[in-house]
Amino acid sequence: MGNNFDIDELFRNSIREFEAKPSKDVWSRIDRSLSKRTGKAPSFNIGRNLALSFLFFTLCLIPYPGNQFASRGAHSLQTLPVTRLSDPGLGLNHNPGPIPEKLHTGFLQQTLQDQLETAGQYTRAQAKADEASLQTGTQTPPVPEPLKRHDFAASQPMSLNAHMLSGSDNADLNERDADISVHSMHLRGMSIGLVANYNQTSLLENENIFRNDRSIQPTLKFGVSKGLSIKYNFNNRFGIETGYLYNSVEGQNYVLSDDNQIVQKSLVLYYDQIPLLFDLKIAHISCLTHHPVSLNYIAGVQYGSLRQYRLPQEKRYETDDAQYKSSEWSFVLGLDYDIYLSSNLYLTAGARGSISNDISTHSDPHDQYAQRNFVFGLHGGLNYVFRNF
């Protein structure tokens, strides 16, 4: 006899393999719960992300309404009517008369060449030949057929129209000339600006809707990022952009929906980000501001350095190891407008979205599935251009 026997061992040996038969209705209740589960709609998170993605890409695919601007008197590169300058009916088959000096130099000359080159089927040499013919009154070589298809009357841009006017029309140009001479379409140059993003961010998808065996319901989380932007436009068509976004908030909000309580949780990650983006531009002169407006289709990559993260307290499998990788790579798509306020200042406004690589280190045994930051939001900025129009 004695009291020094191992009570732990007594219980371990006796009851560890203890079995008891459950009542029959336990399976019935499980069966009912699983049936309800089967009919469950896709999670809010997935549905929301799909909807936002669809909206985003739909917006990207909508053709830019260049003709509308052109028909209201604004320039449009997209609807450039590269027509034979001496085509009958355009007022150029008669002696064009002297071209105002202003139209031969500066913005108009460059604009004409830029526009024609942008059209992709008209060489610089041809442009010079056309220009020479305007001065001498001789006809230019025929322009390739595809370039004739534009409806000139519907889309005549002021710059080309000016070339086509005869001397007797010069008086009509006076007012326009003054306008045109200060509002050309040279987007080439470098700019630096302050930018900010207001994002809706999510991290957990269907595979992660259980945290530590508890079902969760993802909810909206919004985050802000701000920083510097550096852009360089190679020409009116292409540009490149980088910058530095400080303390960009990403992560996920969710609720634990237990029987007796609903608890709001927030998983937050803070990143410093450096994007490298390429812009495809469609520019025109706004009839409202008389300055360029550029629609930019944006695509590129973004590097993010994890500053810190905050995990919900209920997470029971927190380990000493880092739960999230220190680096994040994202693919970025965007659509925004550069709205020039003056020759050196323009606003940027639009929307951007990104999806990252798997940022989880999977040190938590319950987080075996990929966790990707999905960010979608509004983008805005104010930029200064280091050049003169």
Partner 1 sequence: MSQVNLPSAIPDEPIIRECVSGDRRSQKMLYEKYASKMLGVCLRYARDYQNAEDILQEGFIKAFRNLEKFRFEGSFEGWLRRIMINTAIEMHRRKNYLYPLIEVENTDLEMVDENAVSMLAAEDLMGMIMSLSPGYRTVFNLYAIEGYSHKEIAEQLNISEGTSKSQLARARYILMKMVTQRTGMKRKAIGQ
Q: What sign does the dihedral 377-383-386-389 (CA atoms) show?
A: positive
- Quote the crossing angle between the two packed helices 124-136 and 107-119, to the nearest 10°: 130
Nearer to partner 1, 124 or 316 (CB): 316
Interaction with partner 1 in 280-299: which residues (CB under 8 A)? Answer: none
Q: Which of 145, 175, 259, 321 binds partner 1 (CB under 8 A)?
A: 259
Q: What is the DSSP letter of 293?
A: E
Q: Which of 93, 123, 135, 215 binds partner 1 (CB under 8 A)?
A: 215
Asked if residue 8 binds partner 1 (CB under 8 A), the reply is: yes
Nearer to partner 1, 179 or 258 (CB): 258
Q: Are strands 292-310 and 372-385 parallel, antiparallel or unpaired?
A: unpaired
Q: How far apart are CA 381 and CA 345, in angstroms?
A: 11
The pair phi, psi for residue 66, each rounded to 5°, is -65, -35
Q: Which of 151, 172, 179, 258 binds partner 1 (CB under 8 A)?
A: 258
Q: How far apart are CA 146 and CA 15, in angstroms?
A: 88
Least distance in Å: CB of 338 to partner 1? 47
Q: How far apart are CA 65 and CA 282, in angstroms?
A: 10
Interaction with partner 1 in 78-97: which residues (CB under 8 A)? Answer: none
List alpha helices for 39-167, DSSP H.
44-61, 66-71, 101-104, 107-119, 124-136, 152-155, 158-164
Site string for partner 1, 355-384 (x = CB under 8 A): -----------x-xx---------------
CB 250 within 8 A of CB 223: yes
Least distance in Å: CB of 218 to partner 1? 16
- Tell me the sheet residues that pair with 302: 275, 330
Q: Which of 136, 260, 321, 388 binds partner 1 (CB under 8 A)?
A: 260
Interaction with partner 1 in 26-85: which residues (CB under 8 A)? Answer: 26-27, 29-31, 33-34, 37-38
Nearer to partner 1, 278 or 369 (CB): 369
Least distance in Å: CB of 351 to partner 1? 35
Q: What sign does the dihedral 128-132-134-137 (CA atoms) show?
A: negative
Interaction with partner 1 in 317-356: which residues (CB under 8 A)? Answer: 318
Q: With CB under 8 A as the contact rule, which of the stretches 13-21, 83-91, 113-121, 380-388 interacts with partner 1?
A: 13-21
Q: How far apart are CA 173 and CA 387, in angstroms?
A: 27
Nearer to partner 1, 4 or 174 (CB): 4
Asked if residue 257 binds partner 1 (CB under 8 A), the reply is: no
Q: Which of 145, 175, 213, 321 binds partner 1 (CB under 8 A)?
A: 213
Q: Which of 53, 71, 212, 235 binds partner 1 (CB under 8 A)?
A: 212
The token pair that represents 277 in the structure block: 């983006």
The token pair that represents 79 in the structure block: 């609807």
Asked if residue 19 binds partner 1 (CB under 8 A), the reply is: yes
Helix (H, G, I), strand (E, B) or coil at 185: coil
Residue 109 exposed, middle or buried by CB count within 10 Å (0-12, 13-18, 19+): middle
For binding to partner 1 (CB under 8 A), which residues are involved? 1-5, 7-8, 10-12, 14-23, 26-27, 29-31, 33-34, 37-38, 210, 212-215, 258-261, 313, 316, 318, 366, 368-369
